[in-house]
Amino acid sequence: MKENDSSKSKSEKQHGVFKVTNPIPQFTKAKFLSEMGKETSVFVRFSTVQGSRGSTDMPRDVRGFAVKFYTEDGIYDLVGNNIAPFFINDAIKFPDFVHAVKPEPRNEIPQAASAHDTFWDFVSTSPETFHAVFWLMSDRCIPRSLRMIEGFGTHTFRFINDSDESFFVKFHWKPVMGLQSLVWDENQKISGKDPDFHRRDLWDAIQVGEFPEWDLGVQILPDGTEEMFETMSSDTSFKEFVRDTYLH
């Protein structure tokens, strides 16, 4: 495990293995998804968003969930979060969003706190944030453990199979241990006693061989269908679930 520099979010990183138990060559020509039992080395990064290095693991905050697949055809990056929708749809707003959620530049306050006036000012002038804010204020953003969070690829991606047929897809990670959260009071108490609680939990589990595990699923719809435009929109602030095909 290794942290970023002090200007970035606090993060934990691990090496692992992705194994296919439900190949989908009918949807994609990607070899690492198309062969039963095929194993691919991965590198996974979990992170908070608001706090810098040294901040608590336990803020009410979105957790970044990023996976790098080292495939035979090159590196496949899947970057996402533990909530399905994102706060903005127009990418030009991203710098403003980041500046709003980070500590104030004049005093580096607040650190990893949801009671953040600048963030709420941004939300109040950007109605598309409301869906993500409801997820942010739910139990999902005070997780019991990083081993018990879901992951979402956020964007809509495209698969192309050997017949050059196109499919729109969204990625979902489901924790084998199940989705578990804390309540706000115990979250605050744990944060005060052990600000590295999530990091310690993940490290200790790996050290004793209790490796965290997720099932990877993809939401798939053929390109050009009417249902695709309704459920697979490029609007990252919107999320609707349809059927899942799982790649365990």
State pLDDT tens for residues 106-161: 888 888 776 678 889 999 999 989 999 999 999 999 999 999 999 999 888 899 99
**Continuous segment of H or E residues that includes residue 160:** strand 157-160
Residue the block writes with tokens 């990670």: 173
pLDDT of residue 111: 80
If one counts every other C-beta atom within 10 angstroms of the C-beta of residue 212, the result is 20
pLDDT of residue 228: 56
Distance CA 130, CA 70 (A): 36
Among 74-78, 80-84, 153-157, 162-166, the minimum mean pLDDT is found in 153-157
Q: What is the CATH number of domain 9-247?
A: 2.40.180.10
Per DSSP, 132 falls in state H
Region of 180 please: left (phi>0), alpha (psi -120 to 50) or beta.
Answer: beta
The structure's pTM equals: 0.86
